[in-house]
Structure 1
Amino acid sequence: MGYQLRTESLRKVFDAWSKEYDIYAPKIFEGTGRFSETDVIRYGIVSSPEEIVWDQRSEYSFKEIVVPICQTLFYFTETQIKEADFPQKKAIIFLRSCDLHAVKRLDYMFRDNGPADYYYEKLRENVKFVLIGCEKSFDDCFCVSMGTNKSNVYDAAVNVKNETYFFDCKEKYLQEALQKFAVSEIPVAVEYVTRNKVTVHIPEELDSGAAASTIWDEYDKRCITCGRCTIVCPTCTCWSMQDLFYSENGKAGERRRVQASCMIDGYTEVAGGGCFRQKSGQRMRFKVLHKVLDFKKRAGFQMCVGCGRCDAICPEYISFSHCVNKLGDAMREVKENGKK
């Protein structure tokens, strides 16, 4: 059964949920954008539905709630180690279908692909997801091509029309407050887009031979290896370890897990000064083929969810989707040249 609420009644629902949960959703952070005195839409804690940006895609994904950009794992002294505290409250995350599909990717990497990651599991087990229905496609989105434009794996879902909120709910705790404050109970079908302006075609014959193509050479000049595309991506999860010392003798401090990226300098450096992928084109090649080839070989589904954030944030206007659409040409080139 679904529930219809107005802004005032949903505000009361948020108050009820907030007793046990922090509510995360896309919101405006004023003056913290990429350019001077510009705003940015990213995830943060909200206390009312008015704070949520319902009609625009967030520039950054929900990822940092369950995979923090910088996460302290434990504190240490010369004789003791203390595990870092986890958030006291659980989390409710409002997100769109592409991001909800990204959760499946994160779960595979951190929970299903071998022993579960302890730190991810501790955060993930306390999260509930509310799907935001998509009435229209945003620029650069290609979720339909990736099959991530709709989902039914949610705790609750909401369509928003003219300050009226239509919820479908599967989870008991969330349902109690919705039922209590709902204006009426009606059937609700979650909205989803069926067409994007951008379409992507991944060649069925795609294999690792595409790495030998010359299509990657153009990115040696275009890409500045800033790593923005991987930071905003909801399925990029690479990190490095850092020890922060509080004293000069190095016997007290903390160990942190910090997000890293295959696109930035230092990621593939090894002992002795070696570096596996120095050129920007080599890094682009690794990222793209991992997103649409290597991960699927292991997991059985694509890593990329087609959210389009990477295309939108690139300062050099490099399009991931356009690059994927060139893979067919890359395979033909390699085949014609007899490369392997």
Structure 2
Amino acid sequence: MGYVLKREGLDGALAALSKDYLLYAPVRKVGEGRFTDVDVVRYDFVTSASELELDAKSDYSFKELLTPLSKTLFYFTEDEVHEAGDLGAPGAPAQAADDRPVIVFLRACDLHAVRRLDQMYLGNGPTDTFYARIRDRVRFALIGCTQSFASCFCVDMGANVAPEGWLFSLETSGDGYLCAVADDSVKAAFAGAATAEKDVEPAHVTENEVRVRTPQSVPTSIYKDPLWDEYTNRCIRCGRCNIVCPTCTCFTMQDVFYTDNGRVGERRRVQASCMIDGYTNVAGGGQYRKAAGERMRFKVLHKVWDFRQRFGYDMCVGCGRCDDVCPEYISFAACVNKLTDACEREEAQDE
């Protein structure tokens, strides 16, 4: 079942949904990019159609709702520990006490990324209860992809077609919108606001300008391959690629003390990453993977090889945000292709 909506109709549908849900979607922040005349598209809570940015890829992923950059887990005193709240964390203090579930608007690649996050936090040993509590309150709306963006390579990563698990889809069409409803719980919101009913299949891209070949096997000699030296010279280890990546899951813990006696404060979970200094520090002052090339090797192999060996599918979903945000113009897609070429050369020499 699908619907055709005008702007006013979508406003009415979102208003109806907002009675039961918080809505979290890409929003264009005018002039808030890296320069004063550059916009940025990032996620925020919305209530109307005018706030939605459906035609541009978000610069940052949805994951800050599920895994905030910094999240207080609990507060402690000398005698007591109190757990912090779960939702409303990503820059919206007014939402902190709101117990409505959240509908997150995301594209097919990001919906595939949710599977990766769930795998790491819920299916990789003991359940992460802090993640699970937030995840239980989150639902998804699919943004149809009517075009491929410049850096995307989702087709080659098998993430261009959305998996199941979304309530409804939404995409622009002319001066209106098309919506496909997959869950009856939200059907009334759109049926009452639509101008017409229509069979709608969510749009998805079938080809990307960027092509990627992932390795089918990785010889151990690749860990010392000179290809990584390029990134030792180019990468500045800022970690921006990890922060915007919808599938990066690493974090560290920080205790923040309120008083000089060190007995009152809070424990925070803070996003960390393999590319940022301090991530591999160990007791005694040791540090693994000091060179940027070594860190790049760890990240790339984890995204397109190690994760697949454990779970049967690649961690990377081909959204291309890492390429978009890198200040040194390092292309993750190009690095994966170089890795695959090097692996094939090594295998040919061993035959």
TM-score (norm 2): 0.93
- 1:194 equivalent to 2:189? Answer no
Partner of 1:7: 7
**Equivalence map 1:309-324=2 (5 Å):** 309-324=321-336
Partners in 2 of 1:196 and 1:336 — Cα distance? 29
Contact 2:111 2:163 in 1 (8 A): no
Partner of 2:186: 174
**Equivalence map 1:93-104=2 (5 Å):** 93-104=104-115
Partner of 2:132: 121
- 1:225 equivalent to 2:237? Answer yes
Q: CA deviation at 1:176?
A: 2.0
Structure 2 vs 1, CA of residues 120 and 163 (structure 1 numbering), >3 Å: closer, same or farther?
A: farther
Equivalent residue pairs, number: 338
SS in 2 for 1:295: helix
**Equivalence map 1:299-310=2 (5 Å):** 299-310=311-322
Partner of 2:43: 43
Contact 1:207 1:293 in 2 (8 A): no
- 1:81 equivalent to 2:64? Answer no
Q: CA deviation at 1:332?
A: 4.4
Partner of 1:234: 246
- 1:157 equivalent to 2:169? Answer yes
- 1:18 equivalent to 2:18? Answer yes
- 1:28 equivalent to 2:39? Answer no
Amino acid at match of 1:52: L
Partners in 2 of 1:73 and 1:315 — Cα distance? 32
Q: CA deviation at 1:200?
A: 0.2
Partner of 2:260: 248
Q: Which runs of 5+ in 2 are unaligned?
A: 88-98
Q: CA deviation at 1:103?
A: 0.5
1:249-298 residue CA offsets vs partner (Å, 9 max, x unmatched): 11111110000010011110101111110000000000000000000001
Partners in 2 of 1:320 and 1:157 — Cα distance? 29
- 1:287 equivalent to 2:286? Answer no
1:121-163 residue CA offsets vs partner (Å, 9 max, x unmatched): 1111111111111111001100000010011412211231123
Partners in 1 of 2:271 and 2:119 — Cα distance? 18
Partner of 2:94: none
Partner of 2:55: 55
Q: CA deviation at 1:337?
A: 7.4
**Equivalence map 1:247-286=2 (5 Å):** 247-286=259-298
Q: CA deviation at 1:35?
A: 2.7
Contact 1:214 1:330 in 2 (8 A): no
Structure 2 vs 1, CA of residues 308 and 121 (structure 1 numbering), >3 Å: closer, same or farther?
A: same
Contact 1:225 1:280 in 2 (8 A): yes
1:154-210 residue CA offsets vs partner (Å, 9 max, x unmatched): 221123112322111122322221122222222111111111000000132334442
Partner of 1:329: 341
Partners in 1 of 2:158 and 2:349 — Cα distance? 33
Q: CA deviation at 1:10?
A: 1.0
SS in 2 for 1:146: coil
SS in 1 for 2:155: helix
Percent identity of the aligned residues? 51
1:77-127 residue CA offsets vs partner (Å, 9 max, x unmatched): 100111101232321111111001001111111112222211111111111
Partners in 2 of 1:89 and 1:230 — Cα distance? 30
Partners in 2 of 1:181 and 1:276 — Cα distance? 57
The structure 1 residue matched to 2:146, chosen from 121, 128, 135, is 135
Structure 2 vs 1, CA of residues 37 and 21 (structure 1 numbering), >3 Å: closer, same or farther?
A: same
Partners in 2 of 1:66 and 1:332 — Cα distance? 38
Amino acid at match of 1:91: V
TM-score (norm 1): 0.96
Q: CA deviation at 1:235?
A: 0.1
Q: Please, which moves more after superposition, 172-181 or 241-250?
A: 172-181
Partners in 2 of 1:287 and 1:281 — Cα distance? 10
Partner of 2:90: none
Partner of 2:95: none
Q: Please, which moves more after superposition, 245-254 or 31-40?
A: 31-40
Amino acid at match of 2:63: K
Structure 2 vs 1, CA of residues 336 and 183 (structure 1 numbering), >3 Å: closer, same or farther?
A: closer
